[in-house]
Amino acid sequence: MRTLFIAILVTAVAVAATGRPVRAQEQLTPAEKKQLFREGAKLWPLYCNTCHNARPGSEKAPYEWDEIIMHMRMLGNIPPNDVRALLEYLKSGS
């Protein structure tokens, strides 16, 4: 139930911020996932090291990163597209 609420909240925030729905990570082509991974690798030290030591993606399970990134997105005012890239990078276990 909590995961469903978080998914709905993430979608609502993404639509409100961009004016259009954001495609789910699972619907991305391999090329799109690769591009997001590269962007996430560049953004990870910028956003995460700003306030604390950035953690490697392998430290948490993928579902845990969903909750963590939502919390950090609100605190750090991270744009939706950057959130998608960070999630792709962190969930890959890097």
**How high is the pLDDT of residue 82?**
94
d(CA 83, CA 66): 10
Statement: residue 4 has pLDDT above 70: no
The closest of 49, 45, 44, 42 to 90, measured between CA atoms, is 44
Distances (CA, A) of 74 to 32, 43, 47, 94: 25, 16, 12, 23
Give the number of domains in the chain: 1
Residue 8 lies in a domain: no
Please write the tens of the pLDDT for every residue from 68-94: 999 889 888 899 999 999 999 999 886
- Domain of 74 in residue numbering reads as 30-94
Domain assignment present for 69: yes
The encoded tokens of residue 32 equal 């799109």
pTM value? 0.68
Residue 15 clears pLDDT 80, i.e. is over it: no
Q: Is 33 exposed, middle or buried (0-12, 13-18, 19+ CB in 10 A)?
A: middle
Q: Is residue 89 part of a domain?
A: yes
Domain assignment present for 81: yes
For 19-72, the pLDDT digits (tens) are: 444 445 568 899 999 999 999 999 998 888 888 887 788 888 988 999 999 988
Give, in order, the Cα–Cα distances in Å from 38 to each of 13, 21, 44, 94.
23, 22, 10, 11
The pLDDT of residue 1 is 64
